A and B are shown apart, each in its own frame.
Chain A
Amino acid sequence: MNSPDLPPPPNVSGISLSGTTPYVITANENRELCATLGAPVAANGTAHPIYFFIATQVGMGKSVAGLCAACDFDVEDGPMIASSKVTFSHALMTEQSYWITGEIRGLTRKRSRTLGVMDLLEYVLRLALPDGTPVLETTNVWVLPRRNLA
């Protein structure tokens, strides 16, 4: 719920974040990523589960800067990720095409002790196989500091 003493945030609910091209986790990139983590590379082609975040962020229809711009927020003002939630229906695989759909759920404007005024941006992204089979759904919340309103 928005703070009643503040101007309302932009109405961004429902803005589409659906991608226009498929996303593929390459086996090579998965190997590189696992190496940065000290994680084993799965022999059965399973990708590291963190690709839930990477694939949906890269494969959605906007860049992070574009997502911020849709909220009338300059990415240079420092968005901060606050929370992530994901539900998997299937494991992610390398060399498999995935399609991403999603939308912005909304902005909630609040006062913050440390940031003054901030908006909480919530959006949902879904990743599916080309035949539409759901693979995962993730919801992220970002903090957008609104220092000009503090």
Chain B
Amino acid sequence: MSAGAGTTVNGIAVGAELPTYTLGVVEPQSMRLWAGFLRDPNPIHLDPQAVRAKGLGDRVINQGPANLAYVITMLQRAFPGSSLDWLEVRYAGSVFGGDAVEAGGRVGNVAAEESSTKVTCEVWLRANARDIVISGTAVLSLPPADEPTFT
């Protein structure tokens, strides 16, 4: 069973806003850790002088996958116990060291299937309450026992 705007399936309302997830400060130290996770020594993530030399600003630039990870974390918090089935995103901008970021989303569709509930969400990440730096769509599976309520 699938739902249109304004309807609710298994306690999840189509059109409901997901609880936002905010990280008050993106720390340069976190970028150093991510450089290790990604085995990516690009100095624009580590050295403000390298950023200046490339004319990209004067603060280190967060790794794109780290920005995407904030969005996924928002989904995990919104739907505890869910699994991510599918995700497609566009990277539209940069997050700099010291920025605050906010991830959020909205339920676009809910479909009750035999063994799970499939939830499709539009998702986004905003830097400093300003620019959208990531936008996209995610599909999650929720086991019946773990369905949250967004109405």
Q: Point out residues on A near B: beta carbons under 8 Å.
A: 29, 32-33, 36-40, 48-50, 53-54, 57-58, 63-64, 75, 78, 80-88, 91
5 sample A-B contacts, Cβ–Cβ < 8 Å, listed by A number: A48-B73, A49-B84, A50-B68, A58-B38, A82-B91
Specify which chain A residues have a CB less than 8 angstroms from the CB of B66 in the assembled complex: 36-37, 50
Query: Any chain A CB within 8 A of the CB of B85?
Result: yes
**Contact of B72 with A50 in the complex, beta carbons under 8 Å:** yes
**Interface-lining segment among B6-14, B29-37, B104-112, B119-127:** B29-37
**Chain A binding surface SS class:** mixed
Indicate if the CB atoms of A82 and B90 lie closer than 8 Å.
Answer: yes
**A32–B30 CA distance with the chains assembled, in angstroms:** 10
Q: Please state if A85 and B91 are interface contacts (CB–CB under 8 Å).
A: no
B144 within 8 A of A: no
- Pick the contact of B73: A38, A75, A87 (CB < 8 A): A38
* A83 B38 Cβ-Cβ under 8 A: no
Within 8 A of A (CB), among B72-100: 72-73, 76, 83-91
Residues from chain A with a CB closer than 8 A to the CB of B4 are none
In the complex, how many residue pairs between chain A and chain B have their CB atoms under 8 Å apart?
81
Whether B38 pairs with A48 at a CB distance below 8 angstroms is: no
Give complex CA distance A63, B69 in Å: 21
- B residues within 8 Å of A by Cβ? 21, 23, 30, 33-34, 37-40, 42, 44, 54, 64-66, 68-70, 72-73, 76, 83-91
| Pair A38/B85 contact, Cβ less than 8 Å | no
A87→B87 CA distance, assembly (Å): 7
Can you list the 4 inter-chain pairs with the closest CB atoms, starting with the nearest? A50-B69, A85-B88, A39-B73, A36-B30
B127 to chain A, nearest CB (A): 16
Are A57 and B83 interface neighbours, CB within 8 A? no
Q: How far is the CA of A53 from the CA of B89 in the complex (A)?
A: 12
Asked if A50 and B65 make an inter-chain contact with CB atoms under 8 angstroms apart, the answer reads yes
- What are the residues of chain B within 8 A of A84 when measuring CB–CB? 68, 87-89, 91
Given A39-B73, A83-B88, decide whether A58 and B83 contact each other with a Cβ distance below 8 A.
no
Besides the known contacts A36-B33, A84-B88, 16 further A-B residue pairs in the complex with CB atoms under 8 A apart: A29-B37, A33-B33, A33-B37, A36-B66, A37-B70, A50-B66, A81-B65, A82-B91, A83-B88, A84-B89, A85-B88, A86-B87, A86-B88, A87-B86, A88-B85, A91-B83
User: Which B residues touch A88, using CB under 8 A?
Assistant: 83-86
A78 adjacent to B54 (CB under 8 Å): yes
| Complex: chain A residue closest to B32, CB-CB | A36
Distance, CA A36 to CA B8, complexed state (A): 35
**Cβ of A37 and Cβ of B33 under 8 Å apart?**
no
Q: Which residues of A contact B90 (CB under 8 A)?
A: 82-83
Q: Which residues of B contact A83 (CB under 8 A)?
A: 88-91
Residue from B38, B64, B86 in contact with A86 in the complex, judged by beta carbons closer than 8 Å: B86
> Which residue of chain A is the closest to B27 with respect to CB atoms?
A36
